[in-house]
Structure 1
Amino acid sequence: MADLVQYYGTGRRKSSIARVFLRPGSGKFTVNKREFEQYFVTPAQRAAAKQSLGVQGIDETFDIITTVKGGGVMGQADAVRLGIARALMEFNPELRKALKSEGFVTRDSRGKERKKYGQRGARARFQFSKR
């Protein structure tokens, strides 16, 4: 069997985790064994997921296979973006400078703040009653 050439990157955002595999091919993009347009429905989600591909015009040279778990769809799209950027850096380390200048290498570490005891939510308090 021939050796399978692929490049791997993991992306995370909020509670979403994306495993991204880049394989030389025609530009086919699948997410959880579904078509890209079928999984990411809105244009904002599609743009966020494909953003790191537009840096060097690499769209059509790789088939992209991703598996995504957890979180919402927009967080998953951002996780895919980071995963693609990391896989591209594995493919060609010289792309790091271009990806970093666009901000695709940095993981967005913002997450959900925990609920505190004696409160209704993370920051929301119970209503104060003077009488």
Structure 2
Amino acid sequence: MAELNSLEELGEAAGTAPAETQEAPVHVQKLDEHGRAYATGKRKDAVARVWIKPGTGRITVGGKDFTEYFARPVLQMILQQPLVAANRKGQYDIVATVTGGGLSGQAGAVRHGISKALTYYEPELRGVLKKGGFLTRDSRVVERKKYGKAKARRSFQFSKR
């Protein structure tokens, strides 16, 4: 058995190249035939389908303007977070359809979809959006009700008599 003096020799002995020559995976642009990037976003029970293309910054959710669909300013702010973080506000037209859940979950689903679609259109934005936590699917969902319980964990009221 030969004696090894460095990690490079270990790589050569195993028949593999040193770590410096192996490159990180390169993300490529994913567009449909209309030049749009498509992504699916999810949050709680809501599922959003999102299409992004270059434009004037118009955001449409379910055929309505997003300020009309999401009336609360907090939900509008949640929707725009990935665009603000990537410094792309007003550069893309966004069309989204949302099903399931409530307004808060739907806003989170659209935000997740916008973030994923932005990375498909501009792969170099992935680092910024990942650092902001916009690409992670929030997996928290409502716990199911168990038998013998009033709700998921709450017991029925105890009666001594």
Q: TM-score, normalised by structure 2?
A: 0.78
What is the match of residue 100 of structure 2? 70
- Over the aligned positions, Cα root-mean-square deviation in angstroms equals 0.9
Partners of 1:130 and 1:56 in 2: CA distance: 60
Shift of 1:86: 0.3
2:156 to 105, 109, 126: 126
Which residue of 64, 69, 76 maps to 1:34? 64
Residue 81 of structure 1: CA displacement? Answer: 0.6
Residue 142 of structure 2 is aligned with which of 88, 112, 115? 112
Distance between the aligned counterparts of 1:56 and 1:98, measured in 2? 7
Q: 1:10 aligns with which of 40, 64, 68?
A: 40
Any unmatched runs of 5+ in structure 2?
1-32
Other-structure match for 2:132:
102
* Residue deviations 1:43-97 (CA, integer Å, cap 9, x gap): 1110111111111221211100000000000100000110000001101111111
Structure 1 residue 86 corresponds to structure 2 residue 128: no
What is the rounded CA distance, in whole Å, between the counterparts of 1:89 and 1:66 in structure 2?
16
Cα deviation for residue 130 of structure 1 reads 2.1
CA contact (8 A) 2:86 2:129 kept: no
Which has more strand, going by share of residues?
Answer: 1
> Runs in 1 of length 4+ with deviation above 3 angstroms?
none
Count of aligned positions:
129
Aligned match for 2:83, one of 40, 50, 53: 53
Structure with larger Rg: 2
Which TM-score applies when normalising by structure 1? 0.95
How far apart in 2 are the matches of 1:16 and 1:77?
A: 9
Higher relative contact order (CA 8 A, sep 6+): 1
Comparing 6-15 with 51-60, which one deviates more in the overlay? Answer: 51-60
Structure 1 unaligned spans of 5+: none
The AA in structure 2 aligned to 1:6 is R
